[in-house]
Chain A
Amino acid sequence: MDSELRLYPILVWARVRSQLQYRLSFAFLVAGSCFLTATDFLVIWVIFQHLPALGGWSLEEVAFLYGTSYLSFKATDMVVGHLDQLPVMVRMGTFDTVLTRPLGSLYQVITSDFALRHVGGILQGLVILSYAIVSLHICWDPARVGLFAVMLVSGGAIFGSIWVLGAATVFWTAGSGLEVLNSFTYGGNQLTSYPLNIYAGWLRRLLAFIVPLGFVNYFPSLYILDKPDPLGSPQFLSFLSPVVAIVMVGLARQVWQSGVRHYRSTGS
């Protein structure tokens, strides 16, 4: 565990350096990531041309949700997004190599890439979030500052756990149908970019509590923005995000490990 942490920056730096070799291509990738993700905010902006508040949330408040969702999600995408490629590793048999090395299998898959281009999406999220924070006049007492930081970290951990949980199903299904995972990762990013109360009850219960996306930013934001929940949920939910994140990370670890035990190589 200790050596894994020390190795991480070294491995990541190697991935980053190789991506920086082709300057023009890299600049295009970052600009592309920034612009493609920004279209999601353009949608919000267009919608607010036609109304003052969406489900009781102003443009600045929705921008706050959008920015925090993007920061947590894109940072996670950068670190673990290549788990989407796990089916290829399983089918090609390259996952066998991973199992022969003296490091955790999940650790090796995660460090096999580091998609630096997502800084484009992160920057875009930061700009929108800064706009929201500057225009919202939030009363930044220590509790809110702390909760804000905890929210971003917990949100990232929840997204990351969903990714690991989804990818681990590959060990049982041999990698077919992993596209379903997109509904909860990219879909989770879409869901948490808007206030939870606009969704119908069934979708909300499924995606906010069973897949605990509501704890990524919605519940903590209610406290930070000093907003009563239009859904009338109790206030302690605002502080549960780290607990949910820890449970999810533990669950993801367990499922990954039992997946690896179940794994049978494609062989030759």
Chain B
Amino acid sequence: MGFYWQVALLGFRRFATYRAATLAGIFTNTVFGFMRAYVLVALFATRADVGGYDLRDALTYVFIGQAMLMTISLWGWYDIALTIRSGDIVTDLSRPFDYQIYWLAQDIGRASYHAVFRGIPPFLLGMLVFDLRVPEHPWTVLYFVVSVFLAVCVSFSLRFMLNLTAFWLLDYRGAGALMAGAWTFLSGFAVPIVFFPGWLQTISMALPFRAMLQVPLDIFLEKPGGSDVFGQLLIQAAWAVAILLAGRWLLGVASRRVVVQGG
């Protein structure tokens, strides 16, 4: 356990080195937040309620989304795929630790850094311009933190499987962009899922992607209400475990295929 803790710490420190990149990232996430917010301001100029969201919910939704973007690493995480390409994965697989847990620990370290330093600032900057909602019940904050942690686990488990496709595809970026498109939209990042037409809501409810974003968002906005929070957290946990297990299976299949390059 101590080992994985150290790995997580390293994952955290790895990103803490790049201060200028962090500042630049905060700037960009915030600018996009403002642009997306004004689209919703224009939408709510014509009506007070869309799918149970009012303008304040919708603006909070935008800035929580912008804040979680890096934490759940929505786009372009190819760390494992790169080791598959370079062949380094062979050494990693032969090391005396659990390969998947090792990467999960590192990713939780990375996500913790991004949650604090890329997550909180854009939300505070958003608050300077817009009247954003903050949770009424103190417990909500705790539930939200747990939910974000589970969202990172779900997102990691999906990214883990996506990266393993590099065993079969020479250029994993194409599959990556396809997946990124699916989870940008179906996670509820692009628009809240309650804004979707009914049939599309049904589809997104049945898929794991909303566990990455819409679930923690709705917990923050105190949408599910009361005991339902635990139900939502349970669904997130179930998706995380199921996809992590699927990833282990895929790793087994893939490692039987490994051809060591070089000699």
Overall SS of chain B's interface: helix
Cβ contacts under 8 Å, B173 to chain A: 29, 32, 117
- Report the minimum CB–CB distance from B157 to chain A (whole Å): 21
- Whether the pair B20, A203 counts as a contact (CB closer than 8 A) is no
Total contacting residues, chain B, CB less than 8 A: 41
Partner of A190, one of B32, B171, B177, B185: B32
User: Taking the complex as formed, is A109 at the interface, i.e. its CB lies under 8 A from any CB of chain B?
Assistant: no
Chain B: minimal CB distance from A85 (Å)? 14
Interface 1/0 per residue, B205-226 and A, CB below 8 Å: 0000000000000000000000
| CB atoms of A46 and B191 under 8 A apart | yes
CB-CB under 8 A from B24, the residues of chain A are 176-180
The smallest beta-carbon distance between A36 and chain B, in angstroms, is: 4
Cβ of B38 < 8 Å from any Cβ of A?
A: yes
Secondary structure type dominating chain A contacts = helix
Q: Is A100 part of the contact surface with B, judged by Cβ < 8 Å?
A: no
B174 touches A28 (CB 8 A): yes
B106-131 CB contacts (< 8 Å) to partner A: none
B35 touches which of A25, A36, A187 (Cβ 8 Å): A187
Contact B39 A42 (CB under 8 A): no
Taking CB atoms, residues of chain A closer than 8 Å to B170 are: 22, 24-25
Residues of B within 8 A of A55 (CB): 42, 45
A191 to B31, CA, bound (A): 10
Known A-B contacts A36-B178, A39-B185; the reply to A179 vs B46 at CB < 8 A is no
From residue A57, how far is it (CB to closest CB) to chain B in Å?
Answer: 9
Kindly provide the distance from the CB of B202 to the nearest chain A CB, expressed in whole angstroms. Answer: 15
How big is the A interface, by class?
A: 35 or more
Q: How far is the CA of A183 from the CA of B180 in the complex (A)?
A: 19
**With an 8 A cutoff between CB atoms, is A33 at the interface?**
yes
Known A28-B174, A179-B25; further 20 A-B contacts with Cβ < 8 A? A22-B170, A24-B170, A26-B174, A28-B178, A30-B174, A31-B177, A31-B178, A32-B180, A35-B182, A42-B191, A43-B185, A46-B191, A46-B196, A47-B195, A50-B50, A50-B195, A51-B46, A187-B31, A190-B36, A199-B35
A contacts, CB < 8 Å to B:
22, 24-33, 35-36, 38-40, 42-43, 46-47, 49-51, 53-55, 117, 173, 176-180, 182-183, 187, 190-191, 194, 198-200, 203
CB<8 Å pairs between A and B, sample of 30 = A22-B171, A24-B169, A25-B169, A25-B170, A28-B171, A28-B174, A28-B178, A31-B174, A31-B178, A32-B178, A33-B177, A36-B178, A39-B181, A39-B190, A40-B190, A42-B185, A43-B185, A43-B191, A46-B191, A46-B195, A47-B39, A49-B197, A50-B43, A117-B173, A176-B24, A177-B24, A180-B27, A183-B32, A190-B35, A203-B38
